[in-house]
Amino acid sequence: MSISDKIKAVRKAKGITPTVMARELGIEATNYPRLENRGNRLTYENLEAISKALGITVIELLTWGEEIKEPIVRPEETKKLEKDISRIEELLDYQRDKIKYFKTVIAKFVIESAWEEFIDSTPDPIIVVENEEQAEMGWDYDREAWDSYLNTYIFGTTAFWKLFESGLLDNKVLKEVEGQPDVLIPFDVRMLQARRKKQADKLFGKVDEK
């Protein structure tokens, strides 16, 4: 179907007469048939004006009466895409596991470093306790003093605090390592960590907390 035929088909389908089209286009009624029959010689500006008068877009006019076919996707292409997606998901899982491992190693190192200084700097940090049920002696430590010391130690050690700011160290991984207490994170750092997590979720998808 030529462009002229498409214009006529749309015009007749919408019940618009040549006289009405001429009036919408601002031309003499006797000149409209000649414009409509120009077909492939119509400029884009002509097509735009005619489409507007017909109440449709230029694309709708040019594709009028044509069947829009769905793109053909070959089975081998689908299998390749599925294989590529599977490979990417495996790579992401591997990277997540590796990051989690490094976070755990970092957390253990920070806790061990803090514990050594806690033992050396705190008077009598170890408390001897008696287990009456088993009739034996054991030991414990001042947990409140340790909680406070760990917060002060991380906050006061630039290198370790940078790990918190970067997200390589956080309360979740500290809790997973021997059930350590929450570190009191300043509001601005928490907001920074939240933005980074949101960006990561957007890029890699939200990871379910386990």
Which of 36-50, 117-131, 162-176 shows the lowest per-residue confidence on average (mean pLDDT)? 117-131
Q: What is the CATH number of domain 3-62?
A: 1.10.260.40
3-class state of residue 131 by DSSP? strand
pLDDT in tens, 67-113: 666 666 677 778 888 888 888 988 888 888 888 888 888 888 888 88
Contact 60, 3 (CB under 8 A): no
- Does this model's pTM top 0.95? My answer is no
Residues of the chain with CATH 1.10.260.40: 3-62
pLDDT of residue 173: 78
Contact 185, 174 (CB under 8 A): no
Phi-psi region of 206 (alpha: psi -120 to 50; beta: other; left: phi over 0): beta
Structure tokens at 145: 């003093």
